[in-house]
Amino acid sequence: MASKLDEMIRSMSGNREMFEPSEFDDPVAMQTDWTPTKRGGTNFRSHKLAESNSERLEFRLTTGAKLIYLILLVVGFVVVVAYFCKVLFGGWQVDGDNLCLLGFGLVIMIVGGCVFYIKTAPIVFDKQRGFFWNTRKNPELMCEKRNSKQVAEPKKVHASEHSWIVGKSRNTLKHFAELEKVHALQIIAELCSNETERGRRTKTYHSYELNLVLEDGKRINVIDHKNQDRLREDAGTISAFLDKPIWDAT
């Protein structure tokens, strides 16, 4: 029974075999979570690592990923353009049915634009500025705001306000870190699958996460995609850049 349970856990995690964090001989590894930081993955290589200069590494979207993320935007744009062409040159009347088509095109275009905007957010390791970030916000300003809140005099807050502050702090943690507080790089795997409308799983694949582990054991996701070899290669480059170890659990 126990062996079957172990096999099921390995299948869900995507790791070749169960491992013990103690093998890294590091107390931080023992307090670090070894499950995926987020469920789901990407079944293609979404990012490639590039060296801007000796002080800066950044992940950039691959050409294929850009094309995939642009599909919704382009489809929505085509629908909107086709609508106006039909109204101006095709004799269409502006009625309810035709307006529904326009609305559909606008919604698809807006959703596609938002997806592309989110997916093209910078993912940067910058020694000169001393930060890692995966957001469009200025990391220095984010750090200053966080530190100013920490040194502010404590005050009584309502429970709901406290929950909002905690949530805001956790959200900030997801997007940036000071490089000096990075303790290690973590690689973990997850077994992912798409689902049909009837809930049946199809196209099972492994997706691999590269995470930053901070001094307190908390983690920040860097990238997550299917190409294990490329992800390991990129992790090695970042490891040399930061002079930090790689904890590979795959």
Q: Please, are residues 72 and 115 in contact by the beta-carbon 8 Å criterion?
A: yes
**C-alpha triplet 80, 196, 116: angle, nearest 5°:** 40
Q: How far apart are the first and last CA of the chain?
A: 24
Residue 142 token pair? 């984010």
DSSP reduced 3-state for 188: strand
Selected residue with higher pLDDT from 243 and 167: 243
Which neighbouring-strand residues pair with 213?
Answer: 184, 219
Q: What is the DSSP letter of 44?
A: S
Q: What is the pLDDT of residues 37-95, one digit of tens each?
A: 888 778 788 899 999 899 999 999 888 888 888 988 999 999 999 888 888 887 777 77
Q: What is the per-residue DSSP string for 50-88? A: EEEETTEEEEEE-HHHHHHHHHHHHHHHHHHHHHHHHHH
Q: Please, are residues 138 and 176 in contact by the beta-carbon 8 Å criterion?
A: no
Q: How would you class 46 by CB atoms within 10 Å of its CB: exposed for 0-12, middle for 13-18, buried for 19 or more?
A: buried
What was the pLDDT predicted at 241? 97
Q: What is the pLDDT of residues 210-248, one digit of tens each?
A: 999 999 999 999 999 888 999 999 999 999 999 999 999
Q: How far is the C-alpha of 115 from the C-alpha of 117, rounded, in Å?
A: 5
What was the pLDDT predicted at 132? 95
Residue 29 token pair? 């590894």
Q: What is the DSSP letter of 213?
A: E
pLDDT of 10 strictly over 50: no
Task: Return the sign of the alpha-carbon dihedral for residues 156, 162, 168, 173.
Answer: positive
Which neighbouring-strand residues pair with 61?
Answer: 47
The mean pLDDT of 16-23, rounded to a whole number, is: 74
Q: Please, are residues 242 and 180 in contact by the beta-carbon 8 Å criterion?
A: no
pTM of the predicted structure, to 2 decimals:
0.73
What was the pLDDT predicted at 89? 82
